[in-house]
Amino acid sequence: MEKKEYTLALLVSNKPDVLARVSGVLGGRGYNIETLCVDATLDPAYSKIILTTIQDKATIGKIEKQLMRLIDVHKVTDLTQVESVSREMILVRMKLSDTNKGHLALIIDTFNGRVITMNGDHCVMKITGDREIIEKAVASLKPLGIDDMARTGIVSLERKIN
Amino acid sequence: MALVTSGPGASNTVTGIANAYLDSIPIIVLTGQVPTHLIGTDAFQEVDIVGITRPCTKHNFLIKRVEEVAKTIHEAFHIARSGRPGPVLIDLPKDIMAAVTEYEPEPPRKIEEESPRPASKKAFYVMDLVAESKKPLILSGGGVILGGASEELRQLAWRTKMPVSSTLMGLGAFPGSDPLWLGMPGMHGTYYANMAISHCDLLIAIGMRFDDRVTGKIDHFAPNAKIVHVDVDASSINKNVMVDVPIVSDCKSALQSFNALLEQQNFSVTDDQRREWTEQISTWKRENPLSYCQSDTEIKPQFVIETLYKLTKGKAIITTEVGQNQMWAAQFYGYDEPNTFLSSGGLGTMGYGFPAALGVKIAFPDKLVVDIAGDGSIQMNIQEMATAIQDNIPVKIVLLNNGYLGMVRQWQQLFYGKRYSSTDMTYQPDFLKLAEAYGWKGLRATKPEEVEAVLQKGLAAPGPVLMDFRVSREECVYPMVRPGGPIHEMALGREMAN
């Protein structure tokens, strides 16, 4: 069966151990988590975990059911199956030189990024976008000398009110 | 319930917990833990038991404040028994156990509400399928026994005249002496159960999870059947076998709604309507019954179990170890009532049967409790022979002693050219002397004609008795489906007999 990246949103209890239980369901079966985002919901008793994993359709269904067996997992939504919006953010630290500054300004402008801090020979900038945009941005920045970067992984939300 | 100390005490529970997890057995394990201020410091006898047991418990807790104790214990019992049951572990640091707090009782939660019920539309559909089917079959599992639904299963089978096969964990839900009974399916299942599965046009699977030992090669499993699958655990459905009618429900509710519909529709089926199917099954039963080759000189292990069945009239509660002894106990003893056969199914844990027998005997002091064991398995927990004397628990051990880890030896014989590796157990204790050393009565039979007398004497003796049967060393369990093979292709063992 054809594999693709699925985005799952999990409503879980905001307790120690819950993330380990969730990652154990995938890891124990040899499945990799590609991206992961966690924070408390409006109600601090609950957290939302958004993770992505590359699977075929049958396997993602089994993973959802196995996750639902966990006592601390209250709801699992496959955001790939509903209309949803997704964003990712990266922070990139760039080495600055007379030769790359002009090109860098152009890239920041193209990807609607912003410089957060600048200090003589380096700067830290952020870019937000869907996965495709972020991949393109990274590819454009790479030849200019990325010193280091951090990616949030995907956050995703259903477009409509249920 | 189990109560153990920290560190090795806790880590020694892991196999038992994994065993309960795979067989959906509700247990609560209380483990000691180092004091809260020492957690995470590699303190003496500290292990992260919550971390270790995370993938083999239904849920587990680490208690950090004494105020959480009451609530957590209530919750643990609820979780262990509701839905698909399973083990729950509570890790209790030493300072929490010694702390004092005021107990505030919580209203008990109702478990039944948690169990989903089948939509009535689906129940209607299933009953339509039953009405149309010419070759129906019920395949029940441990869920029927755990859910207390054996009576409802019997009603359904008798009213619709559907033959019944049960998995290892499901034995006893349907009477082993009933004409509709087909025996266990799968790798060491009966010829006729496996043939019935392979030829049925409707398979109603209830409270079972299509384990690979049951299905064999999935592509050839019940190829002509519409499959209805009732299970309380949604993740069990469409996991191994894709089914036509998935029903997430506890077994009792589902069976009750099926039976209510039959009543409402005044459903009846004549013997004539079932004739073709019944005759086909009878033919299979006649052609290849469960059998073995009796000997004048050697004790056949199957003969020991048959004789045990005859002498106890099927009224004993049987526990088993794991391996050949377990399969023969499943094949050659008939179970008429639920919870009269206790065995380690999913995990296949050698050493299960004897401590299980002790527990059963404490729960049912008036019942005869017999552990059917092998000489390998019994030595996994043999130290509990002292417990039986200490706490006065008169259980019986029927030891099928072949001086091998027999099931592994059987695989080495059949699939690895008789290259026996680490399965020969010729050097083992003298079990008679061992029994005496523990204060037990020990009996031994070495010839077929001694079997009945030893069993009679051992079962009649008031205290705990170990009966050492020196059985035919290289007897194999048949029928056997080769691992990964389709279940209609069975080695029946006749070629071995000659």
Please choose, from the candidates B91, B70, B72, B101, the residue with its C-alpha nearest in 3D space to the C-alpha of residue B17: B91
Given phi > 0 = left and psi -120 to 50 = alpha, else beta, which region is A30?
left
Which residues of chain B are under the pLDDT cut of 70?
A: 107-118, 495-498
Contact by Cβ (8 Å): B210, B197: no
Rounded to the nearest angstrom, the minimum Cα separation between B413 and chain A is 32
Angle (CA) B189-B195-B197 rounded to 5° is 85
What CATH number did the domain enclosing B186 receive? 3.40.50.1220
Q: Is residue B482 in some structural domain?
A: no
Asked if the C-beta of B238 comes within 8 angstroms of chain A's C-beta atoms, the answer is yes
Instruction: Give yes or no: residues B110 and B126 share one domain.
Output: no
Question: B59, B235, B239, B243: best mutation site toward chain A, by most A Cβ within 10 Å?
Answer: B235
Same domain, B323 and B422: yes
Q: Do A20 and B58 touch (CB under 8 A)?
A: no
Identify which of B27, B36, B45 has the alpha carbon closest to the alpha carbon of residue B92: B36
Chain B CB contacts of A61 under 8 Å are 238
Average pLDDT over residues A126-154: 95
Instruction: State the pLDDT at residue B115.
Output: 58
DSSP B196: H
Residue with tokens 């038992």: B16
Q: Whole domain around residue B391: which residue ranges?
A: 301-477
8 Å CB contact of B235 and A65: yes
- CATH of residue B316's domain is 3.40.50.970
Q: Does residue B295 lie in a domain region?
A: no
Which element (helix H / strand E) includes B166?
A: strand B164-166
Contacts of A65 in chain B (CB under 8 A): 234-235, 239
Chain A contact residues (CB < 8 Å to B): 17, 20-21, 24, 28, 61-62, 65-66, 68-72
A65, A68, A72, A73: best mutation site toward chain B, by most B Cβ within 10 Å?
A: A65
CB-nearest to A24 from B54, B58, B79 is B54
Q: How many CB atoms lie within 10 A of CB A109?
A: 9
d(CA A138, CA A134): 6
pLDDT tens digits, one per residue of A11-44: 999 999 999 999 999 999 999 999 999 999 999 9
Please report the ipTM that was assigned to this predicted complex: 0.88
Domain boundary among B74, B90, B114: B114
The most distant pair of C-alpha atoms in chain B lies apart, rounded to whole Å, by: 75
B354 and B312, same domain (yes or no): yes
Q: Where are the beta strands (DSSP E) in B235-358?
A: 245-248, 317-320, 341-342
Percent of chain A with pLDDT strictly greater than 70: 100
**Chain B CB contacts of A24 below 8 Å:** 54-55
Looking at the structure, do residues B91 and B203 belong to the same domain, yes or no? Answer: no
Q: Based on the domain organization, do B179 and B73 belong to the same domain?
A: no
Tell me, yes or no, whether B292 lies in a domain. Answer: no
Q: What is the pLDDT of residues A53-88, one digit of tens each?
A: 999 999 999 999 999 999 999 999 999 999 999 999
Whether residue B256 lies inside any domain: the answer is yes
Is there a domain that residue B374 lies in? yes
Confidence at residue B498, expressed as pLDDT on a 0 to 100 scale: 37
Comparing CA positions, the residue from B126, B263, B132 lying closest to residue B205 is: B126
How many structural domains does chain B have? 3
Structural domain contains residue B8: yes
Indicate the residue among B243, B259, B287 that finishes a domain: B287
Query: Does the beta-carbon distance from A17 to B79 stay under 8 Å?
Result: no
Q: How far is CA A104 from the centre of its chain?
A: 24
Confirm whether B359 is domain-assigned: yes
Q: Does pLDDT of A1 surpass 90?
A: no
User: Are B231 and B156 within one domain?
Assistant: yes
Helix H or strand E segment including B6: none
Q: What is the pLDDT of residue B113?
A: 47
Q: Are residues B92 and B190 in the same domain?
A: no
**B489 CA to chain A: closest CA distance, Å?**
29
Q: How far is CA B439 from CA B147, B220, B432, B435, B468, in A?
A: 39, 52, 11, 6, 16
Say if residues B155 and B271 touch (Cβ distance below 8 Å): no
B161 and B268 fall within a common domain: yes
pLDDT in tens, A66-75: 999 999 999 9
Domain end (from B60, B88, B114) = B114
Assess whether B130 and B272 both reside in one domain.
yes
Nearest CB to B235; choose among A24, A28, A66: A66
Residue B293 lies in a domain: no
The verdict on B99 touching A (C-beta cutoff 8 Å) is no
B125 shares a domain with B79: no
> What domains appear along chain A, each with residue ranges and CATH number?
4-81 (3.30.70.260), 87-158 (3.30.70.1150)
How close is the nearest chain A Cα to the Cα of B219, in Å? 17
CA dihedral angle for residue B481, residue B483, residue B485, residue B491, rounded to 10 degrees: -30
Both B307 and B403 in a single domain? yes
| B9 shares its domain with B85 | yes
